[in-house]
C-alpha cells in the first residue's frame, strides 16, 4: 500500500548528468540506466556514482595541467628531430627514436583522457554549485514526503481500527440479540409448563372435591335407607315423612354438587353414581 502511495507520475529529470538518448533515463557519469526517475536522487548519493564523479574531476584537472607539459615536450621533440638530421650516427638515432616513441605514447594517453571528458556537457564542472543546490533542495523535500506518507499511514491505521471496532460491536449486538431470543423462548416454554401444571392441579382438586361430595351424598343416602328400614317396622306415616326428607336432602346436595363443579367436571362413572342414588 505504501508503494501505491509513492507511485506518482514520473517526470523527466532535468540535470546535466541525465540523458535520455536511449529513450530511458541514463547517468552519463556512470554510463548506467536508471530504472525509474524516483531512483535518480538515490543514485546521485550512491557510492559508485560519487566515485565515478571524483574520477572524472581528477582527470579534468590532470588534463588541464598537462597541456603546458605537452607543449614543452613537443618543442623538445622538434629539437631532437633537428639534431637527428644533423647527426647520422645510428646509435644516437635509435636512442632518439625510442624517446620519440615514448613521447608519442604519453601524448596519446593524454589525448584519450581528454576524449573521455569530452562527452560531458560544456560548463559541467563550472555548474557544480548549481547541481549541489538542486540536490540539496531534493534532500530537503525528502522529510516532507516521508511526513506525508506517515500521515497517510496513520489515517489508514485509524480507519482500520475503527472498522475493526465496528465489526466487534456488530458481533456483540448480534450475539446479544440471539441470547435475548433464546431467553425469551425459554421463558415462554417455562410459562407454558407452569400453566399446564396449574391446569393439572386444578383438575385434580376439582376431582377430589367432586369425589368428596359424592361420598357425602352416598353417606346421606345410606343413612336414610337404614332409617327407612327401622321405621318400616313401626308406623307407615313416619316412613313417608322420612322419604320426603330424604328426597329433599339429596336434591339439595345434588344442586350444590352441580353448581360447585359444573357439568363438565362430571365423568360418566360419577354421573351414573349420582343417578343411581
Interval 95-143: pLDDT, tens: 444 444 444 444 445 555 555 555 555 555 555 555 566 666 666 667 7
- Total domain count for the chain? 1
Tell me if 54 is assigned to some domain. no
Tell me if 86 is assigned to some domain. no
Tell me if 250 is assigned to some domain. yes
pTM, to two decimals: 0.27
Is residue 4 very low, low, confident or very high in pLDDT (cuts 50, 70, 90)?
A: very low
Tell me if 159 is assigned to some domain. no
pLDDT single digits (tens) 151-165 = 787 877 887 787 677
Place of cell 554510463: 31
Tell me if 197 is assigned to some domain. yes
Nine cell digits for residue 34: 536508471
Tell me if 147 is assigned to some domain. no
pLDDT single digits (tens) 112-122 = 555 555 555 55
Percent of the chain at pLDDT exceeding 70: 49
Nine cell digits for residue 51: 566515485
Specify the pLDDT at position 13: 87
The answer to whether 52 touches 30, Cβ cutoff 8 Å, is yes
Tell me if 18 is assigned to some domain. no
The mean predicted confidence, pLDDT, of the chain is: 68
Spell out the residues 6+ positions from residue 69 whose beta carbon is closer than 8 angstroms to its own.
none
Tell me if 245 is assigned to some domain. yes
Q: In which domain, by residue range, is 211 found?
A: 166-276
Residue 65 reports pLDDT greater than 50: yes
Amino acid at each position: 500500500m505504501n508503494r501505491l502511495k509513492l507511485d506518482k507520475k514520473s517526470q523527466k529529470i532535468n540535470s546535466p548528468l541525465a540523458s535520455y538518448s536511449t529513450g530511458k533515463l541514463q547517468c552519463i557519469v556512470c554510463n548506467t540506466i536508471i530504472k525509474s526517475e524516483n531512483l535518480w536522487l538515490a543514485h546521485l548519493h550512491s557510492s559508485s556514482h560519487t566515485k565515478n564523479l571524483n574520477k572524472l574531476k581528477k582527470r579534468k584537472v590532470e588534463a588541464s595541467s598537462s597541456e603546458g607539459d605537452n607543449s614543452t615536450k613537443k618543442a623538445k621533440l622538434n629539437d631532437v628531430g633537428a639534431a637527428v638530421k644533423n647527426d647520422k650516427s645510428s646509435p644516437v638515432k635509435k636512442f632518439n627514436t625510442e624517446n620519440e616513441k615514448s613521447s608519442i605514447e604519453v601524448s596519446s594517453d593524454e589525448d584519450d583522457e581528454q576524449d573521455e571528458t569530452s562527452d560531458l556537457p560544456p560548463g559541467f564542472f563550472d555548474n557544480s554549485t548549481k547541481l549541489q543546490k538542486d540536490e540539496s533542495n531534493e534532500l530537503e523535500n525528502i522529510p516532507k514526503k516521508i511526513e506525508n506518507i506517515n500521515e497517510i499511514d496513520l489515517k489508514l491505521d485509524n480507519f482500520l481500527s475503527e472498522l475493526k471496532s465496528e465489526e466487534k460491536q456488530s458481533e456483540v449486538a448480534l450475539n446479544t440479540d440471539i441470547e435475548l431470543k433464546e431467553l425469551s423462548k425459554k421463558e415462554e416454554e417455562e410459562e407454558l409448563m407452569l400453566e399446564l401444571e396449574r391446569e393439572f392441579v386444578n383438575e385434580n382438586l376439582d376431582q377430589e372435591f367432586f369425589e368428596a361430595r359424592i361420598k357425602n351424598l352416598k353417606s346421606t343416602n345410606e343413612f336414610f335407607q337404614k332409617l327407612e328400614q327401622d321405621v318400616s317396622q313401626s308406623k307407615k306415616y313416619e316412613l313417608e315423612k322420612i322419604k320426603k326428607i330424604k328426597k329433599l336432602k339429596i336434591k339439595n346436595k345434588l344442586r350444590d354438587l352441580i353448581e360447585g363443579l359444573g357439568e363438565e367436571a362430571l365423568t360418566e362413572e360419577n354421573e351414573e353414581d349420582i343417578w343411581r342414588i
